[in-house]
Structure 1
Amino acid sequence: MAGRGSVKPFGGFNASDDAAALNKAMKGLGTDEDTILQLLTARSNNQRQEIKATYKTLFGKDLVDDLKSELGGKFETLIVALMTPPIAYDVELVRNAIKGAGTDEKVLVEVLSSRTPQQVRQIIAGYKQEYDDDLEEDVTGDTSGHFKRMLVILLQASRQQGVQEGTIDSDAQTLFAAGEQKYGTDEEQFISILGNRSDAHLRRVFQAYMKLSGYEIEESISRETSGSLKEVLLAVVKCARSVPGYFAEMLYYAMKGAGTDDQTLIRIMASRCEVDMLDIRQEFRRMFATSLHSMIKGDTGGDYRKALLLLCGGDD
C-alpha cells in the first residue's frame, strides 16, 4: 500500500522556513488563511510535527494554540486534525466517542474496524499513556450485549493470519446456519467468525457463503441483526472486502442528501490522506459514478473546501 496517499512528504522541506511562514501568516491584523492551508496540506504529518517543534523553538509559542486562536469553525477543526499525529488523533477520537455525551458508536465502529491490528494495539497503548485508562474497560463500561462483545474482539487485535483453506466452507456453513437457516439468529457465530478471521480468509468465506445461500453476506447481516451490532458487523465485512471502498462509501453518505456530516468528512480526509486516498478516490468513482473531488466541491465552501480539495489531491 506504499505511496497510495494523496499527501506526500514535501521535497524541499525546511522546518524553519515553514515555521516562519506560518508565524507571518498569523501576525498582525487578519490572518492569511491561504498560506496556512496551502502549506500544511502540502506537508506530511511527520513534517508538520517538525514544524510544530521548530515553531516553539523559534517563537516560544505552541503552533496549534496559535492556529486555534486565528482560525475558526470547520476549517479550524480540519487544520487541527492535520496537526495531530495519526495515533494520537485516533486516541482522541475514541476517547471523545466514549466520554462525550452518549456514546458515538459510529466513530468507535469506524476506527476499530478499519485500523490494522498493529494500529489498534498502538491506540490502546496511546490511550493508556494519555488518559491512564484502559480502553477495553472504558468500551465495555459504555456499551452492552453483542455489540460490546464484537468491540472487545476487535480490541484484542489478534486475527488469524492468512487463509485457512480447510475452514472456508465450514465457516460459510456456520454463518448460514446461524442466520438465514434458523428462526432467530445466533449472533455469537457471526461475532466469532467475523471478528477472528483474516481479511483474506473472510473474502473467501463471503464467496462460499454467496454460493451456498444465494445471498451476499451483507444482505444476511442486514436482515438478521439490527442496531449497533449490525453496524459493526457490516463495517467489518466492508473493510475485509476493501478498506478504501468502506471509506469511499462513508464519504459519499456524509455528503449525500440534506446537510453534510462534516465530522465524518474531516475525520476521514485527515486520517486517510497519507494512507490510501488515491484508492478511496478510485473506489468512489467506481461506486458512485462521480468523483470525490466534485462532490466535495459541491458540498463545502470557503477555506474549508480549498483545504479538503488539496487533501483529496485531484479530480478523477
Structure 2
Amino acid sequence: SSSDKLYTVQLLHSLSLTPSFHKLILHFASPTTNDSPLTMTFFNVYSQETRDAHHGATISAGSPEIDNLVNEIYSAAAGFGTDENRLTQALGNRTTRERYLISARYPELHKKSLLDEIKGETSGDYGKALELLAQPLEDAEASIVRDATKGSGTNEDLLYPIFGGRSNDELAILKKAFFQKYQEDLVVVIADDIGGDLKKVYLAALNSFAQAYDPSIHPRHKAEEVAEAIYKAGEGKWGTDESAFVNALYSVPSEFLPAVDAAYKAKHNHGLIVAIEKEFTGDAERALKFHVQIQLNAVETVANHIESTLKGIGTDEYGLTAAIVRYASILPQVAQAYKAKHGKDLRERIHGETSGDFGKVLLVVYDRALRH
C-alpha cells in the first residue's frame, strides 16, 4: 500500500545506509518481488557449497580448474623449502567457493589435508592467515573460536564478530563445523568459558532465538511491540533485566531489526544502540552493539571493525586477518565506506600496518576482492 511504501522510505532515511543500498532495498520493496524489503544477502558469509552440504547435498570438488589449483599449492609446498609467493597467490587469490572446493579436493589427490600441509610449511601471522584460507570458511571460523577460547581467558575481540548478526542457518553450520573439528559442543564451550552478561549475549545467539522472518507475522505494529518489550526490560525498568533485554533483541530476525530500531527511535527519541549503551558496559555492550550495527549497516560496521584492528599501538594481526578473510565478499563496499568514514585508503592502511609475507597475503586477498 502507499502507506507501507511511505513507511519503508521513512525507515530507510532512519538508517545509515549509502545511496546504493537505499536503491537496493527499495528494489526489494517493490510489489513485484516476494523478498523482504530489508533483505541484505551479504550477511551470509558462507559459500553456496557450504550451505548445500549442510542441507544434505553431495558436493563434487573435482574439476580441471580446481585440480590445477590443488597441484599448484602442492608444488609450492613440496620439497625443500616453501615457495611463499606461489602459495600466497594460489590460496589468497581465490573466492570463498574456490577455497571450499580446494580444501575438499586436496586430500583426494594428495592423501593429506590442506590444513595439515599449510601448518607444516608456514608459521607466525603468515601461517595463521594461510590456515584460515586453507579451510572452508565455517571451519576457519571454528578455528578462530577455538583460538579465542583455549588457554586462560578468552579473546573477545575475535568472538563477538563471529557471533554477531548471524542467521540461524549460519550459526547451525558453525556449530556443526566446530563439533566435527573438535568433538565439542560450541554452546557448552561458550557456557563454560564466558560469564556474566556476555554469556547471556552469546548463548542467545547460539541458541538461535531469532524467528524466521515472515511479513505476515512481522507487520509494523509487531515492530512497535518488540521495541517496547526491549524498552521495558532496559530503560523502562528500575534495574535492567539483562536476560529479557538480550533475548528480546535476539528474537528479532535481521530483516525486521531496522523496523524495530525505527519504532524504538520513534517512541523514545533514540535507537537501540543508545539503549544498549545505557544498560550495558564492557564486552557485553560491545557484542550487543556489533550485533545490531552489522544488521543495520553491515558495510560501515565492517569498516569500523577493521579500523579497530589497526588503530592504537600495535596491530591486531589475527583480528585483521579474520576480518579480511570473512568479509572478502563485501570489501569493495567496505573500502568505500572506510575512506568516507576514516579519510584513508584501506589498502594503504593495511599495507602500512603489515609487512613481509603476512602483509602480502592480506593484500592479495584484498586486491582479489576489489577486482570482482
Contact 2:142 2:177 in 1 (8 A): yes
Structure 1 residues 156 and 177: alpha-carbon distance in aligned structure 2, compared to 1, 3 A threshold: closer
Coordinate RMSD, CA, aligned = 3.0
Instruction: Give the total of aligned pairs.
Output: 309
Map residues 14-53 of structure 1 onto 2, 5 A cutoff.
14-27=65-78, 30-52=81-103
Give yes or no for the alignment of 1:186 onto 2:241: yes
Question: What's the offset of the Cα at 1:59?
Answer: 5.2
Match of 1:92 in 2: 143
Secondary structure class of the residue paired with 1:286? helix
What SS is found at the alignment partner of 1:200? coil
- Note if contact 2:209-2:247 (Cα within 8 Å) is conserved in structure 1: no
Q: Residue 264 of structure 1: SS of its match in structure 2? A: helix
CA shift in 2, pair 1:192/1:20, >3 Å: closer
Asked if 1:137 corresponds to 2:192, the answer is no
Q: After TM superposition, give the deviation of residue 57 of structure 1 in Å.
A: 5.6
Query: Which one of 130, 137, 148 corresponds to residue 79 of structure 1?
Result: 130
Residue deviations 1:50-93 (CA, integer Å, cap 9, x gap): 54565556555554434333333211111111001111112222
Q: Which runs of 5+ in 2 are unaligned?
A: 1-40, 48-62
Determine the structure 2 residue equivalent to 1:295. 349
Distance 1:55 1:259, change over 3 A: same
Conserved? CA contact 2:230–2:249, under 8 Å: no
Whichever residue aligns with residue 118 of structure 1, its letter is: D
TM-score, normalised by the number of residues in structure 2? 0.73
Sort the Cα spacing of 1:218 and 1:42 in 2 relative to 1 into closer, same or farther, 3 A.
same
More deviation in 24-33 or 245-254?
24-33
Higher RCO, Cα 8 Å, sep 6+: 1
What SS does structure 2 have at the residue aligned with 1:14? Answer: helix
Distance 1:201 1:124 in 2: 24
Q: Tell me the secondary structure at the aligned position of residue 257 of structure 1.
A: coil
Amino acid of the structure 2 residue aligned with 1:310 = V
Aligned residue number for residue 234 of structure 1: 289
Gap change, CA 1:213 and 1:76, over 3 Å in 2:
same
Q: Is the 8 A contact 1:150 1:191 kept in 2?
A: yes
Q: Answer yes or no: is the 8 Å Cα contact 2:205–2:250 preserved in 1.
A: yes
2:76 and 2:306 map into 1 onto residues whose CA distance is 31
1:116 partnered with 2:167: yes
Q: Following the alignment from structure 1 to structure 2, what is the Cα–Cα distance between the partners of residues 144 and 53?
A: 37
Q: 1:121 to 1:52 in 2, by over 3 A?
A: closer
**Which residue is equivalent to 2:10?**
none
What residue number does 2:7 align with? none
Q: Residues of 1 paired with 2:257 and 2:108: CA distance?
A: 50
Q: Contact 1:292–1:312 (CA<8 Å) still a contact in 2?
A: no
1:204 corresponding residue in structure 2: 259
Q: Partner letter of residue 206 of structure 2? A: L
Asked if 1:225 is matched to 2:280, the reply is yes
| Contact 1:164–1:201 (8 Å) recurs in 2 | no
Aligned to 2:32: none
For 2:74 and 2:232, locate their aligned partners in 1 and report how far apart those are by CA, in whole Å: 63
Structure 1 residues without counterparts, runs of 5 or longer: none
Q: Residues 88 and 60 from structure 1, CA distance in 2 versus in 1: closer, same or farther, beyond 3 angstroms? A: closer
Matched, 1:157 2:211: no
Q: 1:285 aligns to what?
A: 339
Matched position secondary structure for 2:125? helix
